[in-house]
A and B are shown apart, each in its own frame.
Chain A
Amino acid sequence: MFTLQEIKRSLLVSIWFVFLTFPLMVIRVDSIEKTVQWRWMNMVYVAIGSFLLSFVFRYMLQRKEMKSDDNGDDDKKDKTGRSFIHQGLADPRYRNIILGSLLAVALIFPHVFSTYQTSIMTTALMYVVLGLGLNIVVGLAGLLDLGYVAFYAVGAYTYALLYHFFGLGFWVALPIGGLLAAAFGILLGIPVLRLRGDYLAIVTLGFGEIIRLVMENWGEFSQGPSGVSNIPRPSFLGIDMSLDTALIYTYYLMLLFVIFTIFFVNRLQDSRLGRAWIALREDEIACQAMGIDKMKTKLVAFSLGAFWAGIVGVIFAAKTTFISPRSFTFIESAIILSIVVLGGMGSIIGVIIGAFILILLPEYLRALSEYRMLAFGAILVCMMVFRPQGIIGSIRRTYTYKKQTDGEVS
């Protein structure tokens, strides 16, 4: 690996990157004070960093190419090698132990850790659900939705404005927020889902921005850029709760919702509908030739995803008690997409792990949080280039209940 030639190549790469990053990394000017600041140390960092990274990059590329060369064998190897998590979950005994202990940890979490930690964990759980919702759209049905945050915004604003104008409470707003987001999904979906994949991505992106800009500019309706404040936290049988209790309550609410979502998405995946989505992702024309209504199937995926985003939107508004258009920028959509891509498109466990990594890591490693978006961008690129299936790739199910059918057959 460390042949002279390789080192020479990396040296060239390093020189190239020093040149490339020179004006932006090294120089910083102030056009008013008329001063120039030279940051030569950055040049050294870039040189060393790119020298090392170029080895990694080449090595990873080679590994990937070798993999795709002997495809058949490797798939099998990969299946057993990679997925001890899958295997663990496949065995019902282990599964019960793993899930049981996870649940126990989740249940006692707010009593062991501070409310601050609980609040962060609630946020992470929200992103788990958002990721799972987007996973239906992107991972299963293969529709790249870059405006997912729009539906999230619809949910949040539904609760905020319903409370603001009509004084409606959380529990009434929750289903309305979800349904309204789903309705937006259908309205946008009908004309848009006919489009080819990459156009769909851009239109949804445009739609997301439109929703945000309207909220920003339509002052009388949405209170403009200053946002809506004093949104009440979720209520429980009208009991007055202290701030801490309310936060813990929100946490449990979210936990319940996460469990329900996992349960639902898992069942969806293994259903007639879920199979149709995956088939649609693979080949639209063949899918139609098999009698699958393309529009209807896509529309269901799109609006289901929107529904989930809407619900989380309501919970988000209730949790933070304040929303403004700034919470619903494209970056938010990009974060949710990163979660799905990092975890593994179509894989429930993957998406959950992805959400925890991407949301909790920057929270706890404060020093890193500055580099958060930089890292998200890099993650998207690296995952696509080196590991398109994500950390936990989705495995095709090999019909477990097929065995009993087998028994009947043979």
Chain B
Amino acid sequence: MDYFIELLFSGLSRGAIYALIALGYTMVYGIIGLINFAHGEIYMIGAFTSFIIATILTILGFPALAIIVLAGLAAVIWSASYGYTIEKIAYKPLRHAPRLSALISAIGMSMFLQNYVLLAQTSDFLPFPQLIPDFAFMEPIAHIVGSSDMVILVVTTVVMICLTILIKYTRIGKAMRATSQDRTMAMLVGINVNRIISVTFIIGSSLAAIGGMLVASHIGQINFYIGFIAGIKAFTAAVLGGIGSIPGAVLGSVVLGLTESFATGYISSDYEDVFAFSLLVLILIFKPSGILGKVDTQKV
């Protein structure tokens, strides 16, 4: 039973991380209909930035809490800036081009960023400092649920609530929803669509950065390639839930996280990634609209 609960929690925290990344995919897809292939790289850049800042602050002898907050803040700021810049360079000029052109551009951007980090930093795995301490009050259940699992779950929940409020109740949220329903119409009623698209990229990238920092601290090492796999998995989660749907992305992520956790726990850990990819292939074949997505019919 303990093993089951352990797997359950590790699945949930995995799911939470996927959700943080998947939201970026789903929001961008909802607004400009593009699979932002470079989104996984944003997450990776977030992890690297927080790694660099956290290490410097540790050397300077900052207290643990300050390190977490400042490193997280830096990750968010830089990831958001990258997200914003990528959109301006690689996607904005292709707003009216065929879908595939933008997708190829996104793939190129992803390769570019991966190798940029590889060249600017290193190809080795870097040991990531454990930012989240083992809490004393978690001691009795520490063998089942780790402190960092708990922190991941709590942070993700808080972030989700903030995002929901932002989208449901604020002006910018309304404008985002309008733009995703009908871009031309939104433009006609005076919404600055370019700005909304930028904001979407910024929000999505910030979420990914938070995810990047949490994962890096949880797993304890990073490398330039982590964004690729995490990106595809998060994309799987977004599609599973129904791409374009925000609750769908969260639901899909949790389902994917649990599936992976139980499959690797009870079947075999060798095929961890195969499970995720197979799930992706199967959903797209049998239910491309996902759990909560709507079917889009082509107009004739």
Contact = CB atoms under 8 A, between A and B. Distances in A.
B84 to A, nearest CB: 9
Contacts of B239: 199, 202
Nearest to A210: B277
Contacts of B104: 144, 337, 341, 380, 384
A204 to B, nearest CB: 9
Contact of B85 (A16, A64, A198, A380): A16
Interface string B47-87: 01101110110110000000000000010001001100100
Contacts of A292: none
A130 interface: no
6 contacts: A35-B59, A206-B236, A210-B281, A217-B271, A377-B112, A377-B114
Interface in A360-385: 370-371, 373-374, 376-385
Interface string A187-222: 000011001111101110111011001100100000
Contact of B115 (A32, A191, A214, A374): A374
Contacts of A107: none
B266 interface: no
Chain B interface secondary structure, helix, strand, loop or mixed? helix
Contacts of A337: 104, 107
Given A198-B100, A210-B277, A210-B281, 8 more contacts: A197-B100, A198-B99, A199-B288, A206-B278, A213-B273, A285-B300, A334-B107, A384-B94
The 10 lowest CB-CB distance pairs between A and B, nearest first, are: A380-B108, A377-B112, A377-B111, A384-B105, A374-B115, A381-B108, A29-B55, A206-B277, A191-B285, A373-B115
Interface string A22-51: 011101111110111000001000000000
A377 B109 contact: yes
A64 B48 CA distance: 36
Contact of B277 (A31, A213, A285): A213
Contacts, number: 178
A31 B114 CA distance: 21
B121 interface: yes
A239 to B, nearest CB: 43
Interface of B: 34-35, 45, 48-49, 51-53, 55-56, 58-59, 74, 78, 81-82, 85, 89-90, 93-94, 97, 99-105, 107-122, 126-129, 228, 232, 235-236, 239, 270-271, 273-274, 277-278, 280-281, 284-285, 288, 298, 300
A146 B108 CA distance: 12
Contact of A20 (B58, B82, B99): B82
Contacts of B278: 206, 210
B6 to A, nearest CB: 24
Interface residues of A, number: 64
A64 B93 CA distance: 10
A143 B237 CA distance: 24
Interface string A1-33: 000000000000000110111011101111110
A381 B49 contact: no
Contacts of B281: 192, 203, 206-207, 210
A330 interface: yes
Nearest to B126: A31
A25 B236 CA distance: 32
A388 interface: yes
Contact of B112 (A64, A214, A374): A374
Nearest to A379: B108
A259 interface: no
A378 B300 contact: no
Contacts of A16: 85
A383 B93 CA distance: 12
B274 A377 contact: no
Contacts of B270: 217
A25 B120 contact: yes
Nearest to B116: A374
Given A61-B93, A377-B111, A19 B100 contact: no
Contact of A19 (B49, B81, B116): B81
Contacts of A24: 45, 48-49, 52, 116-117, 120-121
A388 B285 CA distance: 30
Contacts of A25: 120
A203 B285 contact: yes
Contacts of B53: 23
Nearest to A188: B281
A214 B298 contact: no
Contacts of B232: 202, 205-206, 209
A265 B128 CA distance: 51
- Most chain B CB neighbours (cut-off 10 Å) among A32, A198, A383: A198
Given A373-B115, A388-B97, A330 B228 contact: yes
